[in-house]
Amino acid sequence: MNKTLKILSRPQGNAEEYGRWSVNPYLGCSNACDYCYLKKGVWKNALGGCEPKLKKGVIDVEHAHIIAMLELKENAEQIKKDGGLFMSFTTDPCLPETIVLFSDINFHANHYNIPVTILTKCAYIIESNTPGIPTRPFFSKFCISRSTLALGWTLTGHDELEPNAAPNEERIKFMKMAADSNFMVWASIEPVIDFPSALAMVYQALNAGCGHFKIGLLTNNTRLVTKDFAFGEHKFKAYDVIGCLHFIEDVMRMTDGRATVYWKQSVRDLLGTVYSPAAIDALLDYPHSVDKHWNMFK
């Protein structure tokens, strides 16, 4: 076996905002979102584009399974100390092509009592071929221990930018179904395409039982959100800091007492075009604000 081949990885930089350990057996994602970093620039070839495939060096699903089991056994205690596993940075773990392997890895992580955090844009139903067994939601494949599993959905409010993903409305419906089944549920409001759509997603997710939000702005070369402005005859783009401030205030008022919120570095980058780091800390200083290493399992 290739000893350098890894299924588990330790993210660096802003990726660490989602987890300090991740599971990445596949490269590529068939959701085909217009804004996805898997489709753009140097990442396009490195991370697989729009077709999920096992990473180079992995022979088949069974091979990936074996590698992941060995890595889980070797690193279990450290992974638990660091808050658990995140699924996944390089694909959607709940696609028809990926869900079997990810659910198997979740099963073995549960054996070591390792928390698992899932992020998906899926909301389909697995049809049962067994007489007498009803149709089940996809997350039933991850139904091992609800105390060590957090189900998250990306919500943007822009289905037109996510052509092969489930509609945002369906994701929220399944979020409520999961919350009603006593799963921990959370939402990634990233990327924020525009502030009104993002605020609507926060509102709907809260009413579906969402208990935690990670919020980040549209990713481009500057990692900031811009807006068209006009001054007399002159038209220009500028950072929409005022819009962001109103958005932050609305989100924090809406979530107070109902959910925790983590504001990603991209939000701080935008505010940093006007405010000092100390002033940004003060702007985001709410009782239910949390940092990037906050552990929803505790």
The yes-or-no verdict on residue 221 having pLDDT over 50 is no
The predicted structure's pLDDT at residue 4: 62
pLDDT at 13: 76
Read off the pLDDT band of 222 (50, 70, 90). very low
Contact partners, residue 168, CB within 8 Å, separation at least 6? 155, 156, 157, 158, 159, 162, 201
Average pLDDT, the chain: 87
* pLDDT above 90: residue 131: no
Tell me the mean pLDDT in the region 270-283.
Answer: 93
Q: Using the predicted structure, report yes or no on whether residue 216 has a pLDDT greater than 50.
A: yes
Residue 233 burial class via C-beta count within 10 angstroms: exposed 0-12, middle 13-18, buried 19 and up? exposed
Name the residue ranges covered by the structural domains of the chain.
1-119
Q: What is the pLDDT of residue 41?
A: 55
pLDDT range class, residue 149, cuts 50, 70, 90: very high
Higher pLDDT, 7 or 13: 7
Tens of pLDDT, residues 31-51: 999 888 666 555 555 555 788
pLDDT score, position 14: 75
Give the pLDDT score at 1. Answer: 41
